[in-house]
Amino acid sequence: MISAKMVKELRDKTGAGMMDCKKALTESNGDIEKATDLLREKGLATAAKKSGRVASEGLISTFIEEDKENASMIELNCETDFVSMNPEFKALSDNIAEAVAKNDVDNLDDVNNLEIDGEKISVKITDLIAKLGENMNLRRYEKLSVNDGLIASYVHMGGKIGVLVKVKSENTSDDVVEVARDVAMHVAAINPEFLDKTSVDEETIEREKEIYKAQAENEGKPSHIAEKMVMGRLNKFFKESCLVSQDFVKNPDLTVEGYVKDASKKFGNIEILDFVRFETGEGIEKEVMDFADEVKAQMKN
């Protein structure tokens, strides 16, 4: 006979629903381990059924090691804001970021095979799909490392936007961390495409030139004037799209480069080396669902 105590034990162990636990125990003749395996198999089946559903919501999580020299950022997706705010979903996202920062990985398969508390990340995600009733996937990750500086992070809107900024500096005090974090905040708000002019690829530059040249010709400008217009508009493009030349969001009287130079006078030389910005769901075609529909979807799961 399957007792309430056995059902509770299995439920506490797996997080599955009470009726699912009772059914699994019945099928396994009261064997907790076999019942756990049955629920795991059910989770895999549930994940397969939900795999075609669009997962465009989710969280960005970052993790920086104590030495400030290694950091990671990941995007874990789900279907709705409800699940993205779930404490278990957030904890898994944060744990994945930590695992990535502390291990050598070359691709997403490597990440999914990392273990958290003795279980592969892919299994952790599958189990949470079964428990919360939504499709989920680990979409991407990024790692940054530095030998002569530090890495800072900024996460905005409860995990909707995440940024890592790498700087070169002999001083790795909290003051310099704050400078790098200010730059990360700027990146989150303004979303620059490039670090500086030298990091803009030739294909982009040529494409911009062709656009500006066509604009000048359409305005009927003579060739010598058109050439100057192209260069002027290209310089404007660099200023607007490159991080270091943008007006600093916390003080528009300074560029980001100017802000860092001012900070360097106080804390020693600081140089921005790289940045990474993630925004949840960017590039994914989202399903349009109003609040009432989202509630109904949750009631069905």
Q: What is the DSSP string of 80-137?
A: -HHHHT-HHHHHHHHHHHHHHHTS--SSHHHHHH-EETTEEHHHHHHHHHHHH-S--E
Query: CA 8, CA 18: separation in Å to the nearest integer?
Result: 8
113 Cβ contact list (under 8 Å, min separation 6): 120, 121, 122
For residues 227 and 276, membership in a common domain is answered with no
Tens digits of per-residue pLDDT, 199-210?
999 999 999 999
Is residue 39's pLDDT more than 90?
A: no
> Is the domain of 87 the same as that of 11?
no
pTM (2 d.p.) = 0.79
Tell me the sheet residues that pair with 19: none
Domain stop point among 14, 33, 50 = 50
Residue percentage of the chain with pLDDT more than 70: 89
- Structurally, the chain folds into a number of domains equal to 3
User: Which of 32-46, 82-96, 195-209, 258-272 is predicted least confidently?
Assistant: 32-46
**152 and 227 fall within a common domain:** no
Asked if residue 212 and residue 168 are part of one domain, the reply reads no
CATH of residue 23's domain is 1.10.8.10
Whether 164 and 95 map to the same domain: the answer is yes
pLDDT tens-digit series, residues 65-76: 999 999 999 999
Element (H or E) spanning 38, and its range?
Answer: helix 32-50
Least confident of 24-33, 96-105, 168-177: 24-33
As to burial, measured by CB atoms within 10 angstroms (0-12 exposed, 13-18 middle, 19+ buried), residue 227 is middle
Q: Which two tokens stand for residue 111?
A: 């990440």
What is the CA 238 to chain-centroid distance, rounded? 26
Q: For residue 243, which of 183, 203, 201, 202 has the smallest C-alpha distance?
A: 183
Query: Around 76, how many Cα atoms within 13 Å sit in the side-chain half-sphere?
Result: 30
Contact 114, 45 (CB under 8 A): no
> Are 176 and 279 part of one and the same domain?
yes
pLDDT at residue 44 tops 60: no
Mean pLDDT of 89-117: 97
- For 13, the domain range is 4-50
Find where tokens 């997962």 sit: 55
Taking 3-state DSSP, the helix, strand and coil percentages for the chain, each rounded to the nearest 5, stand at: 50, 20, 25
290-to-19, 278, 287 alpha-carbon distances in Å: 31, 25, 10
In CATH, what number is assigned to the domain containing residue 234?
Answer: 1.10.286.20
| 277-300 residues labelled b (16+ CB within 10 A) or e (exposed) | bbbbbeeeeeeeeeeeeeeebeee
